Amino acid sequence: MSTKQKDKKAAIIISAILILSASLSLLCLLLPDRGSNAGDGYAAQIYQDGRLLYSIPLHDISESRTFTVENAEGGVNEIEVRPGSIGIISADCPDKICVRQGFITDTKLPITCLPNRLVILLRPLSDKAGDPPAPDVYTY
């Protein structure tokens, strides 16, 4: 087999792997979230510098409210909590990616503001008091 044929074969294999990876990633984003049972709801957990600041059960929210979180260096994020969702509505970081991400309603993707070291995650609430929430992902 010539070098040209080997290069062509390698390119085809790499292309197939990339297409398969992209397809699986897209499938994971499009599948419904199975991290909790229907109706359980979520708790929004807000971390800064790796410390949990707030845990807000979204099913307890009946009307929108906003509050600010400031880090030790003075970086500020304004967070809005709505019934069933949470998002950052303003930030003093330079890129504003956290604001453009919008509101989250499931556990698929957290909101992060790297300059202000802020992370907002949604975690499933437990079925019964004291039961741990279902895991987000299983690996084998």
Does pLDDT of 35 surpass 60? no
pLDDT band at residue 36, thresholds of 50, 70 and 90? very low
Cα-based torsion angle of the residue sequence 35, 40, 44, 50 in order, rounded to the nearest 10 degrees: -50
pTM of the model: 0.64
Q: Does residue 101 share a domain with residue 74? A: yes
Q: Does residue 53 share a domain with residue 84? A: yes
Q: How far, in Å, CA of 33 to CA of 12, rounded?
A: 33
Tell me, yes or no, whether 135 lies in a domain. no
User: Looking at residue 4, what is its pLDDT?
Assistant: 79
Q: Does residue 18 share a domain with residue 76? A: no
Tell me, yes or no, whether 132 lies in a domain. no
Cross-strand bridge partners of residue 120: 46, 111
Q: Does residue 86 share a domain with residue 54? A: yes
Say which residue the tokens 């690996």 belong to. 139
Q: Does residue 116 share a domain with residue 51? A: yes
Q: Does residue 120 share a domain with residue 74? A: yes
Q: Does residue 105 share a domain with residue 46? A: yes
Tell me, yes or no, whether 2 lies in a domain. yes
Q: Does residue 91 share a domain with residue 119? A: yes
Nearest to 116 by CA among 78, 67, 65: 78
User: Looking at residue 108, what is its pLDDT?
Assistant: 87
Cross-strand bridge partners of residue 46: 54, 120
Domains in the chain: how many in total? 2
Q: Does residue 13 share a domain with residue 67? A: no
**Which residue range is the domain that position 22 belongs to?**
1-31
The arithmetic mean of pLDDT across residues 111-139, rounded, is: 76
pLDDT in tens, 38-95: 335 899 999 999 999 999 999 889 999 999 999 888 899 999 999 999 999 999 999 9
Report residue 9 as tokens.
């074969």
Phi-psi group of 117: left, alpha or beta (phi > 0 → left; psi -120 to 50 → alpha; rest → beta)? left
Q: Does residue 93 share a domain with residue 49? A: yes
Q: Does residue 107 share a domain with residue 65? A: yes
